[in-house]
Amino acid sequence: MNPFFMFALLIVGLGCFAWTAARRWKLMFAAVAPDNRSDQIDERIRGVMKYVFGQSRMFRYWWAGVAHAFIFAGFVVLGLRTLIMFARGFTSDPAFGFWIFDDDTLLGLVYLFIKDVLSVLVVAGIAYFLYLRLAVRPKRMQLTTEGVVILLMIAGLMLSDMTYEATGFIRHHPEHRAAFHPGVPAASMYSFLLEGLPDAAREALHQIGFWLHSIIVLAFLNFLPYGKHFHIITVLPNVYFRNVGGTGRIRTIDDIDGRLERGETLGVRKAANLSWKAVLDLYTCTECGRCSDNCPATRTGKLLSPKHLTIALRDHLRMNQAALIGANSSAATPARASETAPSTDGNGKHKYRLPDGAIDETDGDLVPGWINPEVVWACTSCGACEQECPVLISYVDKIIDLRRHLVMERGEFPDQLQTAFRGLESVGNPYSFPNEQRAEWAAGLDVPLLAEKPDAAVLYWVGCAPSFDDRSRKIARATAQLLKTAGVDFAILGPEEQCTGDPARRAGNEYLYQIFAKNNVEMLNSRGVRKIVTTCPHCFNAIANEYPDFGGKYEVVHHSVFLFDLLRAGKLRPAHRIEATIAYHDSCYLGRYNDVYDPPREILRAIPGLSIVEAVESRDRGMCCGAGGAQMWKEEEHTSAERVNHARARQILNVLPANGHRSVATACPFCKTMLSDALRDKGHEDIAQMDVAELLWRSVSGEGVASQAAHAAP
């Protein structure tokens, strides 16, 4: 070919990319929050194989997943071809392929066949995505010109390579001219179209295919860091360095008192307070909108859209790049919110920038200067966004970090949360009931306290809602009666039990949360507790996943799992029929956070007479009840929009029969409260809302079971 031209092309193309990549690298590490992601290397590698090379998350949207898998596989295989073509620019050997992949070697022939087939599949995938963007135009997607340009560039890569191969096939295999060849099916068929051209024209097309492929590759490479397709480069490290603890584990802020004394920022105030991994997340967003498509806040008309929050933070980073990395301060003139990137999703729904918010890294805060506070407070922390993200971006931790700054440093939070904080601080629970009343739910059941039975094999951690809320107390009573029936050696803490602190942490009050976490761990360790059964998934998640940061390592089991194990062991026998149609609602903190889906359903299946139906939105696609993320203790933002619990109740009602004995089953006291309220608001007080433990106790004991048992209001 032409070594001088290829050399110049590579120097310019790779040199420009190196300059841009270096700026992005510096910007990423201008974020100063510590974030150690060097643990569990084997798990991280497995994640890369599953989520990057296996594309497993992509197939949650089936046809888009298939099309993307074609394009991804094509990129992986064509990557070698690009290196080969760069090398051929410096050699006169038209079959050169780093010797082992030369066109006339066995490996080279196998590679040519795979590449040939994948080129066609990539073009098919591109055609699908162009149809999706230009014809279907789904609301979840960011329908920008960039997406179409990138697709056309990829199509150009494929077509230029196919042209190079087809003309080369005619040139080097005259014996196969105008004939199908199974070794290169697409190239040989394409050669039919070129057969009638003069030799000079085919030679020109051969050269054009070669150089156009090389130019497009380098142009594409330089385009990536400036748009959403940067994920092509960043997705592998982003998946590798993902939060292997999952959504259920929030990063702990160490030494809060010391940081306050030193005047250090708690949480995230400015972009510089993010961690390098948080910035890598922002680089990796593909703007596919799957997160917002499944976000309960977005779906019910709130300002929060996880996609647009990510885009807003990424825009902010790029616009303040010079200030953040300390380069050319004159370029760091603060932009105004009203002068910057679009503030809506194209439909005017999700506004992020307040009208005159400054985004200066010296004076301006992310909230409210760049992000509307309503966006931060609308999150239910349900994790649906993270469950759907194909590149494993985390969203909940960023929102909680923004809340942490607002709460702990500025004292700015929804007024209703003050009541919960005051109750936690004064009496140890967000309900503000005297802690001495914690064991009143157990009246008449002869449930021992741990102080009276210190050698109990199991500690039943009741939780605040089952201790104080009348509806949830029925769950605690049913659970305790089942444990006693099964002969379980257990005890409760009673007045010694306090809130786990989970509502405070999810609301951003990390300082208050840590007081509870440390006190509870100290108390549990001093009592020698080893095994804990919980009723509340929020308690379960906090003790199992977050208390280890404070030295609290226990075997923690949710009551639905524990009861199912007792059923399997034959220690509980549901003998009494309950004639009803049941829809089970998945708790976010039990399902998405901790992958507990089957045990509650198996309990229901074991109860004679029950007919189980599933909402379309169930299991890991189940919608939040609206209580998580401290929403239980405050009013929803944008109350003119649909309430989250109303939307969830509507989904469940869609699968329940119009009449007859109907019920909704849950395995979380917060879910029970939210769905009971929603069913009442919608005029369906006839539909019972019960915990799986309540239903199981009725079937085991026969208590309250009659022809209308499951139909009775909870």
Residue 347: the pLDDT is: 38
CATH T-level fold of 568-711: Rossmann fold (3.40.50)
Q: Look at residue 272 and tell me whether its pLDDT is greater than 70.
A: yes
pLDDT at 332: 38
Q: What is the pLDDT of residues 282-312, one digit of tens each?
A: 999 998 889 999 999 999 999 999 999 999 9
Query: CA-CA distance, 268 to 313, in Å (whole number)?
Result: 12
Fold match between domain 259-408 and domain 421-566: no
Task: Name beta bridge partners: 461.
Answer: 534
Q: Report pLDDT for 401.
A: 95
Instruction: Give CA–CA dist 438/524, Å, rounded.
Output: 17
Number of Cβ atoms within 10 Å of the Cβ of 104: 9
Average pLDDT of the segment spanning 398-410: 95
Residue 709, pLDDT above cutoff 60 = no
Band of residue 335 on the pLDDT scale cut at 50, 70, 90: very low
Fold observed for domain 421-566: Rossmann fold (3.40.50)
Give the residue extent of every domain in the chain: 3-31+42-240, 259-408, 421-566, 568-711
Residue 523 pLDDT > 90: yes
CATH architecture of 3-31+42-240: Up-down Bundle (1.20)
Separation CA 3–CA 87 (nearest Å)? 9
| Whether CATH 1.10.1060 fits 259-408 | yes
pLDDT reported for residue 381: 95
Q: What is the helix, strand, coil percentage profile of the chain, to 5?
A: 55, 5, 40
Q: 626-653 b/e with 16+ CB inside 10 Å = b?
A: bbbbbbbbbebbeeebbbbbbbbbebbb
Confidence band of 528 (pLDDT split at 50, 70, 90)? very high
Q: How far is CA 345 from CA 161, 349, 651, in A?
A: 37, 6, 25
Confidence of residue 177 (pLDDT cuts 50, 70, 90): low
Instruction: Return mean pLDDT, the chain.
Output: 87
Q: Which of 54-58, 131-135, 167-171 has the lowest mean pLDDT?
A: 167-171
% pLDDT > 90, the chain: 61
The predicted structure's pLDDT at residue 641: 75
- Tokens 């085991």 label which residue? 700
Does the pLDDT value for residue 653 go beyond 70?
Answer: yes
- 360, pLDDT greater than 80: no
Q: How many CB atoms lie within 10 A of CB 82?
A: 18
Q: Counting Cβ atoms within 10 Å, is residue 28 exposed (0-12), middle (13-18) or buried (19+)?
A: buried
| Amino acid 433: pLDDT | 94
